[in-house]
Structure 1
């Protein structure tokens, strides 16, 4: 058995691997970049080694540094997690050549499945159904267009070395083909240094079905059933579940058997995923489910498989890498209940899902029913250098309906501030009638559009919840992770003064006032997910965190806070056009903020005077920081 494991990754997957290794008595070594010096995975590991600057290309993607760190600490194995170098056959071989154990498939298996065109040919030979298309060596525009015409439109152009939704273009008509091909090749070249493509028939009602497989060095291969990853946004998975809704037993047996054949065709060892695309226009049928690609690593969504099978896939990886056989035979594996996973990203749906970076002043997930996989905690910072996923929220229940309800309850109480997240978007996805009824395909989110976007303001009747929130208190409890604390919310019993005026600035920028009357019955109480920050109130409604900035408490008069100029996102002030005391007119530019490689002009909301200026050129600011205050001009 492995005695010391180096984890060549970061964030939630590193923390998840550490947890299993610790339970198995295996010492762990973390690696970290400058940006991750204080990261959770670094503090949880037994040892940690600094491997370079913040950009991944100078740290997590430099195999030589990772192997050197393993030798420096006496580690005898390397687990790559997912992403970074996990599917790099050259790195896998370098680990083996250094005399270390590679926790993953053989380099030859990675290589065989690395290029989509070669993989499809291999799968066809192994009797695995593949999507009709073209994977030929002739990459001329004329030949590709000829093949597309023969396949019939719409067709899908895919980079042979692609992944993560990059290098893919749907083409609806012959006249659009050449422009789409040029765009696809340009993106593929930039992302993968390979501009070769293949063509596939576009599936009109596509569902993304994948099968978890596992092999060992003794010739055994098993499947652990299927997952459905059809809920996607721009080819990126959003919500995953297992088993696939609507999958009958006969179809399950056929597709899982095909996945096992695929794994055996490349002499597979370790955890892997065979991804299929299903034409679900008439439900899930074995003759309409086609091989897409194989991921030769652990998947982000592996927890839903663990939840329905009771298997720890990381433990299996470590045992198989140590030379042991797979712990269970196929007939010993079965499905229990239903599991759903939501990917919580630090991104702002209101700004086109731009990544949202900065310090997590507030980070709380209720964990009433959920397993939460995360690499951050309250006080951590979300870096612009890496993937913005900050947590996976996973629930398991006896039925799909109950799992959906439990996940909604978790998201409904998820409080994150000032970093923005997609929690409200996830809550609305789960609420969608088509998703609830399992009427799924990969275009569902795109079709729903604005219906899945959280509203700008909370729906508070006369702001009574916001007023009640001011009296709420928090209790602390020690969590299972030493030194980590989580907040539990107490209920508020409304008694005391009969009336109170409240005045807040809504997230949309509008000013709002209201009056609440406290209820007479003593058994009436509000229980709301909320926090008083001193400057205002944080409220969570259907997963969305709203910040209501306090204006004036107890009067109906306006204040200068009506003209508070807030930073829309973390960034750098690159220009300040006004001075304190200066008169300004409505729409006049006050300053320019550079964020996410874009410039954002901040303007005066009305005629008035700059009474407060908290920004200077070159200064870094956090989201919703008060950069200036404009006092309205007196009439």
Structure 2
């Protein structure tokens, strides 16, 4: 048994690992930033070490500080959780070099699988099916166009080092190649410290199915079930379930065996997940990537197999053989997990919404589990991801699990910040999801998801009968135009930003209207932030001429990058922020004057 474990992470996964350590009688050490000094994982651990400032770079990504914390507290092993440094080969090597146990695969395996190019090469050697892809990283948009001409569109540009949809762009045609290439490299550099990207043929209607593998230090490797993670938004998973519904036994076995071959080919140890794109109707699957860590969605596998995968990780790291001796155990019943994030789902925009949580109350009915990173009175910080917790249900059948989940979502209480619970309710009630007719683009392409959620509030209007609409501050975030409340000497016209379609239109009750007898005013062109976030990049200078829809800057909020675009063509009159600055919602970002006047 391990003598003491340092958890190099925060939030839900840190609390999850700390609780399993406690059950096993293993003392735990939490690390934290200044912003997380009173966080739940700090309160639960036996010891806690301050790493640095709120920035992840100064804390949860500071390898030297984490190694020093392990040494000063006498920790024998380091568990990286998921995210942050979990799949960082340099970190794993530093842990190994310090004479500590890394609770995960050897750094050599992380290094190989961390490069998507190298992973594809290993997958080919292990005879794992793959979609067509570039043999190496690409250097320009011309490479994207050449690949598209050969293999057809759409094409996916992907970060060579990374995952979770960060640094990924879909290219629908040659005309999109230049902008997609530039933005993919930009986001990859910001997320992973490297801007290398490569190409794959994009399967637009495939399901995302992953296989859980486990290996020990004695040469044993098994696959222990599969999960469906097809319901995604911006390549981020929202709902996961096990087993993946609607797959044939032959397809499950073929994916499982391919996953074990891949794990053995890289000398894998510990818990890992091999992800596939699946065309279930044709019994075909294609290798996507391997995640060399515990997954966010691991509880659904635990619920259907009666396992504690973190406890298994601890045992394997201590040198014990796997307790699971055979692959392909038959799952018992069905489990579904909902990620509950601090995001405002109105209008299907999923705006990051950090802040204090007044109440967290999870349902206690049979077959329901809540893995949370916060308790009542805690605060969701704007510097990290938006995951508040995970609601997991189990039932004998998928149909009963969905019904149980609907009740559990209604009973879950999280007050203080908006969450993604309304989105989860809408998804599990949809006939496509009930009938297993979803795929990775289903939510964003095939259904009118925005109409299933509450609309963004239109500004209050004291004079709804007036005809003339005064201009309002507007800003583009991604592909949506936001209408920000227009502040007049008499005060704000509304307290809530609204969103409208790209084409201007008159909506009853929208905008700040001219009072009878008043006079109109020219548009100010002032661009305000629709969210709290950090200015990650500024793409223009004062005096620059810009087109409507052109990216002015990029805000990063809760590990998601949001391009801020010009609502009108004109000239950049002023920039009110600088790179690295944290801005609140509604803060002035820039001013664009129409026509340069």
TM-score (norm 1): 0.72
Partner of residue 191, structure 1 = 191
Partner of residue 163, structure 2 = 163
Partner of residue 296, structure 2 = 300
Partner of residue 175, structure 1 = 175
**Whole-Å Cα distance in 2 between the matches of residues 622 and 275 of structure 1?**
37
Partner of residue 353, structure 1 = 350
Q: Does the Cα contact within 8 Å between 2:117 and 2:137 map onto a contact in 1?
A: no
Aligned 1:607-622 pairs, distance under 5 A: none
The structural deviation recorded for 1:183 is 3.0
> SS in structure 2 opposite 1:161?
coil
Partner of residue 289, structure 1 = 285
Q: Does the Cα contact within 8 Å between 2:336 and 2:402 map onto a contact in 1?
A: yes
Partner of residue 410, structure 2 = 412
- CA-to-aligned-CA distance 1:509-555 (integer Å, 9 cap, x gap): 699xxxxxxxxxxxxxxxxxxxxxxxxxxxxxxxxxxxxxxxxxxxx
Q: Does the Cα contact within 8 Å between 1:350 and 1:453 map onto a contact in 2?
A: no
Partner of residue 424, structure 1 = 422
Structure 1 pair 425/143, CA: closer, same or farther in 2 (3 Å)? closer
Partner of residue 309, structure 1 = 305
Aligned 1:506-521 pairs, distance under 5 A: none
Q: Does the Cα contact within 8 Å between 1:339 and 1:395 map onto a contact in 2?
A: yes
The structural deviation recorded for 1:294 is 0.5
**Whole-Å Cα distance in 2 between the matches of residues 141 and 508 of structure 1?**
42
**Whole-Å Cα distance in 1 between the matches of residues 459 and 364 of structure 2?**
30
- CA-to-aligned-CA distance 1:86-119 (integer Å, 9 cap, x gap): 1111111111111111111000000010111111
Partner of residue 553, structure 2 = none
**Whole-Å Cα distance in 1 between the matches of residues 170 and 38 of structure 2?**
43
- CA-to-aligned-CA distance 1:209-265 (integer Å, 9 cap, x gap): 100000111000011111000000010000000111101111111110000001011
Partner of residue 460, structure 1 = none
Q: Does the Cα contact within 8 Å between 1:339 and 1:400 map onto a contact in 2?
A: yes
Partner of residue 596, structure 1 = 532
Partner of residue 445, structure 1 = 443
Structure 1 pair 163/586, CA: closer, same or farther in 2 (3 Å)? farther
- CA-to-aligned-CA distance 1:303-352 (integer Å, 9 cap, x gap): 00111111110011000000111112115833111000000010101262
Q: Does the Cα contact within 8 Å between 2:156 and 2:168 map onto a contact in 1?
A: yes
Tell whether 2:4 aligns with 1:4: yes
Structure 1 pair 353/218, CA: closer, same or farther in 2 (3 Å)? same
**Whole-Å Cα distance in 1 between the matches of residues 87 and 43 of structure 2?**
26
Partner of residue 394, structure 1 = 392
**Whole-Å Cα distance in 2 between the matches of residues 17 and 138 of structure 1?**
39
Structure 1 pair 415/332, CA: closer, same or farther in 2 (3 Å)? closer
- CA-to-aligned-CA distance 1:13-40 (integer Å, 9 cap, x gap): 1111111111111111111111111111
TM-score (norm 2): 0.76
**Whole-Å Cα distance in 2 between the matches of residues 134 and 195 of structure 1?**
16
Partner of residue 527, structure 1 = none
Q: Does the Cα contact within 8 Å between 2:426 and 2:453 map onto a contact in 1?
A: yes
| Runs (5+) with no aligned partner, structure 1 | 458-505, 512-562, 570-584, 600-619, 624-635
Give the length in aligned residue pairs. 485
Partner of residue 371, structure 2 = 373
Aligned 1:96-135 pairs, distance under 5 A: 96-135=96-135
Partner of residue 67, structure 1 = 67
Partner of residue 575, structure 2 = none
Structure 1 pair 598/334, CA: closer, same or farther in 2 (3 Å)? closer
**Whole-Å Cα distance in 2 between the matches of residues 319 and 597 of structure 1?**
40
Q: Does the Cα contact within 8 Å between 2:339 and 2:387 map onto a contact in 1?
A: yes
Tell whether 2:48 aligns with 1:40: no
> SS in structure 1 opposite 2:260?
helix
- CA-to-aligned-CA distance 1:153-209 (integer Å, 9 cap, x gap): 222222212312122222222333334323323333333343332222221321101
Calculate the aligned-residue CA RMSD, in Å: 3.0
Partner of residue 335, structure 2 = 339
> SS in structure 1 opposite 2:168?
strand
Partner of residue 384, structure 1 = 382
Name which one, 1 or 2, has greater alpha-carbon Rg.
1
The structural deviation recorded for 1:452 is 5.7
Q: Does the Cα contact within 8 Å between 1:92 and 1:102 map onto a contact in 2?
A: yes
Tell whether 2:244 aligns with 1:244: yes
Aligned 1:454-493 pairs, distance under 5 A: 454-455=453-454
Q: Does the Cα contact within 8 Å between 1:342 and 1:426 map onto a contact in 2?
A: yes
**Whole-Å Cα distance in 1 between the matches of residues 372 and 378 of structure 2?**
11
Tell whether 2:18 aligns with 1:18: yes
